[in-house]
């Protein structure tokens, strides 16, 4: 589903990605962990076509995005990728239902199709009775679940999440993490999640460790709780 070969990226003199190769299969839930400044968000943004690498190639959902012109990128992004950020970034003047429908409109769906899909997602997320609430009338966990529904409305093959549970309390965190697995099982999405949350990383299918712009070879990773070398 995601195939990355030899990508590098610098900001000025700072080389943030130093040659990344990564393959993520359809339906995998993968976490990316590592110290601040390791390049995790930059990698996620490049997978999500919010940024371009200086060199190397990125294929997502069978499309070589490195080859897409700038004006085709936003259409690609809207159809193939859903984003979930640490802070929900819902539009305050719109209801939960409307917030979820907006990306569907942008993708060219009609009102009734967008509404039906948004209602289906709200139902699946246990938020049907919150459809007409505005973000400031929702709890933190509810807002983040609406943000997940918004990411899913165009049925993207890939969901990219950057610290998705970073602003949630323990109970809401656990519910959000479970939701990723429920969504994968129901809709078959592939998830790439940048996180500092060890509990989340521990339950994902695979954890990728990044340091100083490189992926750590799996055989050299040592868990802090286990002095023996572990395979991830």
Q: Cα angle vertex 162, ends 150, 203, to 5°?
A: 100
Q: How far apart are CA 151 and CA 138, in angstroms?
A: 18
Handedness of CA 108, 85, 63, 15 (dihedral sign): positive
Binding-site string for ligand ADP from residue 41 to residue 60, where x marks contact by CB under 6 A and - marks none = xx------------------
Q: How far apart are CA 209 and CA 211, in angstroms?
A: 7
- Residue with tokens 């049907």, as numbered in its chain: 128
| Closest distance to ligand ADP from the beta carbon of 81 (Å) | 18
156 touching ligand ADP, by CB under 6 A: no
Among 40, 80, 143, 209, binds ligand ADP (CB under 6 A): 40
Toward ligand ADP, which CB reaches closer, 42 or 204? 42
Q: Tell whether residue 37 is a contact of ligand ADP (CB under 6 A).
A: yes
8 is an interface residue for ligand ADP by CB under 6 A: no
Helix 96-106 and helix 140-152: axis angle, to 10°? 20
Stretch that binds ligand ADP, among 38-46, 78-86, 108-116, 153-161 (CB under 6 A): 38-46
Asked if residues 58 and 46 have their Cβ atoms less than 8 Å apart, the reply is yes
Does residue 11 belong to the site contacting ligand ADP (CB under 6 A)?
yes
Site residues (CB under 6 A) for ligand ADP?
A: 11, 14, 16, 34, 36-42
């Amino acid at each position: 589903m995601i195939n990355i070969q030899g990508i590098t990226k610098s900001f000025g003199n700072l080389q943030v990605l130093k040659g990344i190769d990564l393959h993520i299969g359809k339906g995998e839930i993968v976490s990316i962990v590592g110290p601040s400044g390791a390049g995790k968000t930059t990698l996620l943004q490049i997978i999500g076509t919010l940024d371009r690498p200086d060199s190397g190639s990125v294929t997502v959902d069978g499309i070589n995005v490195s080859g897409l012109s700038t004006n085709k990128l936003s259409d690609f992004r809207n159809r193939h990728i859903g984003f979930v950020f640490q802070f929900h970034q819902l539009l305050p003047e719109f209801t939960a239902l409307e917030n979820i429908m907006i990306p569907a409109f942008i993708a060219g769906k009609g009102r009734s199709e967008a509404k039906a899909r948004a209602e289906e997602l709200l139902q699946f997320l246990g938020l049907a009775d919150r459809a007409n609430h505005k973000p400031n009338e929702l709890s933190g966990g509810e807002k983040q679940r609406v943000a997940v529904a918004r990411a899913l409305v165009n049925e993207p093959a890939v969901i990219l999440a950057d610290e998705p549970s970073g602003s949630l309390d323990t109970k809401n965190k656990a519910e959000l993490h479970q939701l990723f697995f429920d969504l994968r099982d129901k809709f078959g999405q592939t998830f790439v999640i940048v996180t500092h949350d060890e509990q989340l990383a521990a339950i994902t299918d695979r954890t990728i460790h990044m340091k100083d712009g490189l992926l750590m070879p799996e055989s050299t990773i040592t868990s802090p709780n286990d002095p023996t070398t572990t395979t991830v």
